[in-house]
Structure 1
């Protein structure tokens, strides 16, 4: 007797310049900051990172992630973590030197990307090092990527730099030896509210052996059902700019809460 897996909604808090924001991922750039396109800046709906944490806590939405998009976000991240300690993953600038610090600050797990790719080249040595330091069960590997033809290439430094790693079954099998989860932003559709990358979600459903969260393009409450169908329930979904708590008009937060409640494990005999 086993439990059948259902895809669920995973919450997020994206931080930029110390504020909760929703950003079109493809516009993040160090060389052309004037091109940054922001869909939402927390002002009226909710104010602080801690307010979002408390909202997620109220509805028992565990397993969400806090992402620091660039410098100046550490105080805001600590504020969000302290509002619901031990329930959020933290990513953005995580390396072997500060990972333990963030766990002590209240993160449930640390999320790592750029540290694994010195000079945009994957380092298995670095992955082993940070996994050994924090423990496999407290490490998430972020495989946020950009599409190139029929392939997806891992992107680092706020999705600006392509690495030498392709998201594939072999890659995921290797990485899963050293981490307990994957986080995958489809950077090309992040923040556009034009639909998920169906091919990527379907591929992840075939390849992943550990919990995986996909983010990018979700624009309809039924996208959660779509992700479940495409991935066989092996991939969870994050909503961002389409969500009403982030100023969106396409998806109600309470509807996702209700969907999660309804998705209690069902017995598979």
Structure 2
């Protein structure tokens, strides 16, 4: 069954919603920001905790976000996943700080090339149940290529069944941002969602382009209930108008995820 999975995106220490394709620069002239929160990260973490929204992820977009991320983790110890700058050297530190799981991307791709040795070593150190592999990607024709460094650098790795089957041996979940549509609220990448439903053998959360509550039903249909969905800029708690947070909570309750 498809569930709603909320997020806390951090940029320069604040909760923000940003158009993913604009993250190549921190300059205000090129960075496109849809929302800057007045509430601290802990507010969102506590809200998610109150509604039992497990699988929520905290993403550090760039530097100067560690303190904000730890604030969120402190508000819901062992209830959130954290990603952004995760390596084999700091993964355990983030787990000790209260993360339920760590989300890893760029470190797995030195020189933009996938390192199976790094993934296997991380798994050996902290265990697959503590690892979420982020295979966020950009579309290239009829394929999707993993993108790293805030979704700006394409790697040598295609998101497909072979790739996901291999990685699934060493992680417990996938997180997939469709970087081309992230933050645009113009609709999900339906082809990608369908493929993820066909390819994934472990839990998978898709993010990017969600614009209305009905997208939960659409993702459930396209993926046969195997892919969860994150709303960002469209969500009313992030200044959006297309999706009400309360409706997402109600959807999860209808699927048997009860309030804590």
**Shared fold per TM-score greater than 0.5:** yes
**2:32 is aligned with 1:40:** no
SS in 2 for 1:34: coil
Q: Aligned partners of 2:27 and 2:88: how far apart in 1? A: 30
**2:90 is aligned with 1:95:** no
Deviation at 1:264, TM superposition (A): 1.9
Deviation at 1:33, TM superposition (A): 5.9
The residue correspondences of 1:126-205 to structure 2 (distance < 5 A) are 126-205=118-197
Per-residue CA deviations over 1:63-89 (Å, capped at 9, x if unaligned) read 110000000000000000000000100
SS in 2 for 1:8: coil
- Determine the structure 1 residue equivalent to 2:23: 28
TM-score normalised over the length of structure 1: 0.94
Q: For structure 1, list consecutive stretches of 5 or more residues without a partner in the other structure.
A: 1-5
Q: Aligned partners of 1:107 and 1:201: how far apart in 2? A: 27
The residue correspondences of 1:16-95 to structure 2 (distance < 5 A) are 16-30=11-25, 34-43=29-38, 47-95=39-87
Deviation at 1:31, TM superposition (A): 8.1
Structure 1 consecutive aligned stretches of length 4 or more whose deviation exceeds 6 Å? none
Deviation at 1:209, TM superposition (A): 0.1
Q: Aligned partners of 2:52 and 2:119: how far apart in 1? A: 31
Q: Aligned partners of 1:117 and 1:98: how far apart in 2? A: 16
SS in 2 for 1:183: strand
TM-score normalised over the length of structure 2: 0.97
Q: 1:120 aligns with which of 97, 103, 112?
A: 112
- Determine the structure 1 residue equivalent to 2:99: 107
| Contact 2:198–2:223 (8 Å) recurs in 1 | yes
Q: 1:252 aligns with which of 235, 238, 244?
A: 244
Q: Aligned partners of 1:244 and 1:86: how far apart in 2? A: 26
- Determine the structure 1 residue equivalent to 2:4: 9
Q: Quote the RMSD (CA, aligned, Å).
A: 1.0
- Determine the structure 2 residue equivalent to 1:3: none
Q: For structure 2, list consecutive stretches of 5 or more residues without a partner in the other structure.
A: none
